[in-house]
Amino acid sequence: MINLTDLTIKDAQSLLQAGEITSVDLTQAYLDRIAGIDDTLQAFLTVTADQALAQAQQADQRLAKGEHNPLLGVPLAYKDVLCTKGIQTTCGSKILEGYRPPYSARAIENLDAAGAVMLGKTNCDEFAMGSSTENSAYQVTHNPWDIERVPGGSSGGSAAAVAGRLAPGALGTDTGGSIRQPASLCGCVGLKPSYGRVSRYGLVAYASSLDQIGPFARTVEDVALILNVITGYDPQDSTSMNLPVPDYTAALTPDLKGVRVGVPKEYFIEGMQPAVEKIVRAAIDQMVALGAEVKEISLPHTDMALPVYYLIAPAEASANLARFEGQRYGPRISAGSMWDTYKQTRGEGFGPEVKRRIMLGTYALSTGYYDAYYLKAQKVRTLIKQDYDRAFEEVDVIACPVSPTTAFKIGERVDDPLQMYLSDVLSLAVNLAGICGISVPCGFDADDLPVGLQLLGPAFGEETILHTAYAYEQSTDWHTRVPEL
């Protein structure tokens, strides 16, 4: 008998199209697993069981009429920073508790039109600010491979849901590594598209020049299937690029002959967990065995990415989060005057990490400091982008680790913001440059915790990184391993 929650999206869709299973059965199997296991993982903030079953019934009707669509009837989960019409969207914050948007994010609208089924909204660091999903105002999500450890962040709920077989695929967002890092720590595949490739309409903004929506799944092919649906030009997002959208699954071939892979010397840093370096270098050797040509490259401004990111992202957050003052969204804490109400609402509604970043950003934008901090950070950001531009003149793909370590213990870094920020030291520069990246499972350390291989491509080079990731994945069995829950 088939265990429906073990099916990949591709396999589930084949059975759905053949009429061997129904979307209602598949959806119910996931809802049952969520009911049985999510008390332990705490991946979901909201489970939309009734809506999911209604959508599954509609999908079955479309399937019965012979409609073909790769995601028709497939259940998915969505990070709770993405607006969902009529369904609570909290961004993991008390300041948006009870907020039900009047519209859905464009990426979710596209998935709805394709017939995907929404299982619910997943937990995340508050307003996507964090690397461990411990900053959520509601709950701490646990890593399926070891429930005493973090799943990564900020899209930890989506990564844990996919790795824990609570959903075959999910959407997350990536501002400085928030898809790739949890994918690595949870042992699933996660892709951060190029800036402008996926519409940000309906994404509650953290840092508008850095945020991107992207997919999680168990395999590279499944990620490509989701990416096919969520990409495309959207006139309601001024940063959306009006470019042709290829069929990303067409790029998935198992041969790496002639693919030029660059290995940046700056990405194997001091303090990196030795097992991570060993496993990632073994993965690069495997790519050579598949025909890739590997050479060492340099990205000389890499060490500047962390300070640049923590000036630009908080500055944009300071502006974006100014709208949350209790007048239009979420709960209001009345305190006499308008200004007192603002202070009280924001003081109680925002958590400590959000307050920290708002204050950092406001300081960086303040009179007398704007030129010294924010403007200088933007200039260095250009240098970081130019590093990648030069690298991609020599190579097709860059291969490196996603995170310096495997998943750390819950609570281990909560009181040390710098150590927490260093969790993303290998992923931040990608967002500053606006290029694309993917994490694919490449091994396990001595504690049986997953390690991800990060593959980076030029802006709008998703086909290249998907092809490379697929060829590597198909030559190994790391992606087939399942955590015991």
Q: Decide: 202 and 158 in contact? Cβ < 8 Å.
A: no
C-alpha to C-alpha distances, 439 to 7, 8, 128, 130, 261, nearest whole angstrom: 20, 17, 19, 18, 15
| Alpha-carbon gap, residue 248 to 224, rounded angstroms | 5
CB contact at 8 A, 105 and 118 = no
The DSSP line for 436-464 is EEEEEEEEE-TTS-EEEEEEEE-TT-HHH
Which ranges constitute the DSSP H helices of 19-80? Answer: 23-41, 49-64
State both tokens at 425: 């030291």
Task: Collect all residues with Cβ–Cβ distance below 8 Å to 328 and sequence separation of at least 6.
Answer: none
- Kind plus residue range of the DSSP H or E element containing 172: strand 169-174
Residue with structure tokens 């259940």?
A: 75
Between CA 159 and CA 460 the distance in angstroms is 24
423: annotated active-site residue: no
Integer Cα distance of 430 and 384 in angstroms: 9
The one catalytic residue among 132, 178, 318, 403: 178
Nearest in space to 276 (alpha carbons), one of 118, 138, 400: 400
The residue from 23, 104, 132, 154 that is catalytic is 154
Annotation says 154 is catalytic: yes
Beta strands 169-174 and 75-79: pairing type?
Answer: parallel
**Torsion angle defined by CA atoms of residues 400, 454, 468 and 380, in that order, rounded to the nearest 10 degrees:** -70
Question: Which residue among 79, 94, 121, 192 is the active-site one?
Answer: 79
Active site residue 475: no
Structural element, H or E, at residue 122: strand 117-122
Separation CA 324–CA 322 (nearest Å):
5
Strands of the 260-264 sheet, one edge to the other: 44-47, 117-122, 75-79, 169-174, 212-217, 189-192, 436-444, 450-457, 397-401, 260-264, 293-297
Tell me the catalytic residues.
79, 154, 178
